[in-house]
Amino acid sequence: MKIPLPAMSTWKNWARKFDVMPGILNDVLAIMKNKAGSLTELERLTVLTFDEVYISNDVAINRKDEEVIEPHKTCQFIMARGLFGRWKQPVFYDYNKTMDKETLEQVIKQLF
């Protein structure tokens, strides 16, 4: 396509500033809000899918925040998808959590 892209170091610097801590992914929602202005009303119609996935029960290290991540057995994950548009985006994750009404309502309010 011959489109000039930023250097890899620029991408890495940008990614370091991106907050992806467990819970609602507010940085992702901010990007979605900017993108929504270029979508039609039909393309903005959204469905939520959620699933609990099993993950390795290992200790990990978060190098960015210099912290140890305790072992977790499961991860609850919510994905927003376009009902008629061709897009999808993760909007929430948390470890060792089951889906409940309050969490789902918070995600819906933030998306709205």
Interval 61-105: pLDDT, tens:
777 777 887 888 899 999 999 999 889 999 999 999 889 999 999
Between CA 90 and CA 73 the distance in angstroms is: 20
pLDDT of residue 1: 64
Q: What is the mean pLDDT of the chain?
A: 87
Instruction: Please tell me the distance from the alpha carbon of residue 77 to that of residue 92, in angstroms, as a whole number.
Output: 6
Q: Is the separation of the CB atoms in 42 and 81 below 8 Å?
A: no
Burial class (CB within 10 angstroms; exposed 0-12, middle 13-18, buried 19+) of 16:
exposed
Q: Distance between CA 87 and CA 40 in Å, rounded?
A: 13
Q: How much is the pTM?
A: 0.76
